[in-house]
Amino acid sequence: MENKGIKVQEVALPAIEIKDVVKAYKLYDRARDRVKDAFGLGKKQSYKLHYALNGVSLSIRRGETVGIIGTNGSGKSTILKIITGVLNPTSGEVLVNGRISALLELGAGFNQEYNGIENIYLNGTMMGFSDREIDEKLPEILEFADIGEYVNQPVKTYSSGMFVRLAFAVAINIEPEILIVDEALSVGDVFFQAKCYHKFEEFKKMGKTIVFVSHDLSAVSKYCDRVFLLNKGELLGEGTPKEMIDIYKRVLVGQYEIHSNQEHVDFLEEVKRQEAVKQDGQGPNGGVNPDALEYGSGQARIVEYYLTDDAGIRTTAVIKGSLFTLHMRVAFEEHVPAPIFAFTFKNVMGTEITGTNSMVEKAFLESAEPGQVKDVTFTQKMSLQGGEYLLSMGVTGYSGDTFEVYHRLYDALNVTVVSDKNTVGYYDMDSVVRVTEASGEERNSGFKADVQ
């Protein structure tokens, strides 16, 4: 295949234009086959081609903040490396208009033996800046990185958080026109992440282009104008964050399949046409914790559980503010006078955030008999803040005055809440805010403290 390489175009409307890019790797079963192939000694093909990218085309406009999402191995990092020139495409063309600053793999472009200051000058020089220009930018870089005296120590002694602070500070302070970020922000603490996303907002106002890969769907939803979805080296589609996250959720649980030659509009219409998925316990159950703690007397068992979103599609990612449903299928082995079905959300630190049960909700106060199977659903609006949560569930009840646990599953499902607006605390009070101009009389009628 012809390698057309990467061209930097002086004048172009898009910041980045990718045309039919293919990146293929040769996979050999034996090391000696690789050597034979290198010297042209093999009589037959001794390798298989693995396509990290297969015919991907996309265009990114100037001033856009664009996200690239997809499962592991979908080609996200590969396409960023091709855009930045770290890798050459096997075929296809990449047109770039503007100075790129990239924060890819942690440690790329840094000399582990140099200290922080030396690495700042090393990176600046590689990007075409003179020592004098770097001198001028140094105070801003050090202020943003905020790693104190560690800047004078070899970077091999840095923690991962300190490393990414320095790397990101360098990347954003060399006046890039295009900023490329690949998952690096997930290493920093929450305060540094907030600082970085604030910088993203500044960049957007300045008309700069941002391209970033992230598994943080809340960040993608909040900051991106458009999102590209990759899967197994192919572009499934592009669209608004909500559209692409909806498709991605289906890809995650294996409930979305499409031929690569179908158009974006076709598969969006297909998604809208499909009804709620009812698999009766068959197929993948994404987000399930294989090490979930379970116990109980066994008089009743939760034999299936999953979430569906407001479109009735199985998922483990829920958009904040939307309706979602927890489904539990419970089989009864013995007579249970008044089973209670319950669920609880905990944060990743184990703190119980919220939950309810059928007794509190006065939804089911009957008995259950041996052989019966009950389908239980809890439908509610998702008001939790964006982030990761653990869902526990159980079937309990009373035998006389004795509380019985028939079956409990702790931390059974990992649930991701996707949000573009996080308020203070664990959940959103969904406040309606109004600000109006007060009249003259109202201005002077407020509470006044009595001063003696």
CATH of the domain at 326: 2.70.50.60
Residue 103 and residue 59 share a domain: yes
**Torsion angles phi and psi, residue 28, rounded to 5:** -110, 145
Between strands 300-308 and 314-315, the pairing is: antiparallel
- Give the tokens for residue 24: 């293929």
Residue 243 and residue 343 share a domain: no
Residue 314 and residue 246 share a domain: no
User: What pLDDT is stored for residue 261 in this prediction?
Assistant: 45
Say how far apart CA 281 and CA 298 lie, in whole Å: 19
Q: What is the pLDDT along the chain (452 residues), one digit of tens a residue?
A: 445 555 544 444 799 999 999 999 888 777 777 777 776 776 677 778 889 999 999 999 998 999 999 988 899 989 999 998 889 999 999 999 988 888 776 556 788 899 999 999 988 888 778 889 899 999 999 998 888 889 999 988 988 888 888 888 888 887 788 988 887 666 666 677 777 778 888 888 888 999 988 887 877 887 889 999 999 899 998 998 878 887 887 777 565 655 444 444 454 454 444 433 333 333 335 578 877 788 889 999 999 999 999 989 999 999 999 999 999 999 999 999 999 999 999 887 777 899 999 999 998 889 999 999 999 999 999 999 998 999 999 999 998 888 899 999 988 999 999 988 888 888 888 888 888 888 766 666 555 545 44
The total domain count for the chain is 2
Say how far apart CA 192 and CA 371 lie, in whole Å: 55
Q: Residue 80: enclosing H or E segment and its boundaries?
A: helix 76-84
Q: E-strand spans in 262-372?
A: 293-295, 300-308, 314-315, 317-319, 323-332, 340-347, 352-357
pTM equals 0.64
Whether residue 211 contacts residue 179, with contact meaning beta carbons closer than 8 Å, is answered with yes
Residue 242 and residue 95 share a domain: yes
Say how far apart CA 155 and CA 138 lie, in whole Å: 17
Q: E-strand spans in 240-292?
A: none
Residue 233 and residue 88 share a domain: yes
Kindly state whether residue 12 falls inside one of the protein's structural domains: yes
Kindly state whether residue 362 falls inside one of the protein's structural domains: yes
Residue 408 and residue 306 share a domain: yes
Residue 307 and residue 232 share a domain: no
Kindly state whether residue 435 falls inside one of the protein's structural domains: no
User: What pLDDT is stored for residue 26 in this prediction?
Assistant: 83
Kindly state whether residue 50 falls inside one of the protein's structural domains: yes
Residue 250 and residue 340 share a domain: no
User: What pLDDT is stored for residue 452 in this prediction?
Assistant: 45
- The whole domain housing 254 covers 6-259
User: What pLDDT is stored for residue 424 in this prediction?
Assistant: 82
Coil, helix or strand at residue 36:
helix
Residue 391 and residue 253 share a domain: no
Residue 319 and residue 238 share a domain: no
Residue 299 and residue 194 share a domain: no
Adjacent-strand bridge partners of 368: 336
Residue 357 and residue 247 share a domain: no
Say how far apart CA 320 and CA 420 lie, in whole Å: 8
